[in-house]
Amino acid sequence: MAKFEGVYVALVTPFTESYEVDYTRLHELCDWMITQGVHGLVPCGSLGEYASLTVEERAKVVETVVAAAKDRVPVVVGSGAPSTQQAVGWVRQAKEAGAAGIMALPPINYRPLENEVVAHYEALASVGLPIIAYNNPHDYKVDLTPDLLAKLSKIDNIVGVKEFSGDVRRVHEILAKTDLEVMIGVDDLAMEGPLFGATGWIAGVPNALPKEGVELFRLSREGKLNEAMELYRRLLPLFHYDASPQLVQSIKYMMELAGFPVGPTRPPRLPLSSEYYAGIKEAYDFAVRG
């Protein structure tokens, strides 16, 4: 059985209208996700606007999510940071807070050599928490290819990969070359991924539609293709927004449409155009009404 199986929601960070972190709303969000059936929570990822948080805010976000989860579901914390030393510090903080694991980017500031990528993950793994390596070659300069993942999989505590390349063929190759769990990282492969062997999904749009996300993943894992396809085709126009650089504004607006507003995004992320929001609303209405 996979260690991190099912739908893990990459949580947004709620803000007040004055851009303060709304920890009360964050606690409520965690409760809502769990009551809707999600299998895990992932704070401080890109969707959580981790780069815009102060050190104190980021630590308190992790502590709030772990406390809200109350051991009902695992909490996997994003460790992204400009240096290996800082990333290791966030892994230690997550461990002290009671997190179950880490979602770990490779070095993000420049294109590192392969031995530098390996050394980075070795340093993170030395803290002692299970690690899901995060492959996002679109936004960062490293592609964790199946061959590189085969090397990383030999490091103790690296147990899985969040696969965000957008190429579903990667799932087959990773499973063939490694013993890692594969968690789909982009929403618009949320059906294809589990059909082809992914055991988890680190999800974005299910911040707004958690029950539908859990149901889609279940149907896909069980190979119920006709039922999965019917639901997936309704959700797919909305899922495409998860693969856009404007995913945070988009998903926060979806949450407003779902009746669970979480406030604005912090600059440099600004509100989108009315035309962009109209497209999201059209896709949302199609998802919930068909």
Q: Which residues are identified as catalytic?
A: 134, 162
| Residue 124: how many other CB atoms lie within 10 Å | 25
Asked if 102 and 94 touch (Cβ cutoff 8 Å), the reply is yes
Retrieve residue 20's tokens. 């303060």
Residue 38's identity, in one-letter code, is V
- DSSP label at residue 190: T
Q: How far apart are alpha carbons 227 and 204 in whole angstroms?
A: 22
Q: How far apart are alpha carbons 26 and 65 in whole angstroms?
A: 7
What torsion do the CA atoms of 223, 164, 210, 78 make, to the nearest 10 degrees?
130
Q: How far apart are alpha carbons 150 and 118 in whole angstroms?
A: 11
CA 249 to chain centre: 15
Q: What is the CA radius of gyration of the chain?
A: 18
Q: How far apart are alpha carbons 22 and 198 in whole angstroms?
A: 34
